[in-house]
Amino acid sequence: MNAGIIGQAAGLFAVTNIDDIVILALFFAQGTGHLRIVLGQYIGFAGILVVAVAAAFGATFLPASAVPYLGLIPLALGLKAAWQVWRDRAGGGDDDPPARGGGPKALEVAAVTFANGGDNIGVYVPVFATSGTSGMAVYVIVFLILVAVWCLAGRFFATRPLIARALSRWGHILLPLVLIGLGAVLLVEGGAFGL
């Protein structure tokens, strides 16, 4: 393996996925279910890679005009989470059903990861297409290794005392806001619905 390609792959991954650390920290701060978060991150990122590799070989599963609409996924999940926060605060009584514990489900994490990485596909495709099959394999392997590093970083940030206190106090509010904001940015920047 060429060290230059490994370095380029690591740099490309870091630049295109820096925002995932914040989202992962918010997910990890929700409590248990850490394996589901890691699994969901891998499923979502594997989806990104499958689409990018296929597109590099000439297949187009996702037309460019559809990518901005991926913003509807985190928007919907954010609105759902906001509704749960509002419902839990509005009820306030002992008769309320217990709040959903255990953190997010793997498919929720995967959906947010895929939607957030939809724009990454546009960056990865030309890089993959020009790097050849062996170079593309190096990129994919490095990316998959770095997904684990990103999960560890998200978990690390979620467990730092100062950050953990802030996330335990405000995370249930921040997560819906971040997801709604992410969805809105993806929709607006992509020009979805003529925005």
Q: What tokens were used for 81?
A: 């989470």
- % of the chain beyond a pLDDT of 90: 34
Distance CA 27, CA 145 (A): 20
Distances (CA, A) of 185 to 68, 112, 192: 9, 13, 10
Residue 32 pLDDT greater than 70, yes or no? yes
Distance CA 37, CA 27 (A): 7
Distance of CA 22 to the CA centre of its chain: 9
pLDDT (0 to 100) of residue 194? 80
Q: Which of 32-46, 66-80, 84-98, 117-131 shows the lowest per-residue confidence on average (mean pLDDT)?
A: 84-98
Radius of gyration of the chain (CA): 18
Of the two residues 151 and 66, the one the predictor is more confident about is 151
pLDDT (0 to 100) of residue 182? 76
Alpha carbons within 13 A on the beta-carbon side of 8:
14
**Could you report the per-residue pLDDT of 62-109, keeping only the tens digit for each?**
677 777 787 788 788 889 888 888 887 877 644 444 444 567 899 999
Residue 113 pLDDT greater than 70, yes or no? yes
pLDDT (0 to 100) of residue 98? 42
pLDDT (0 to 100) of residue 145? 97
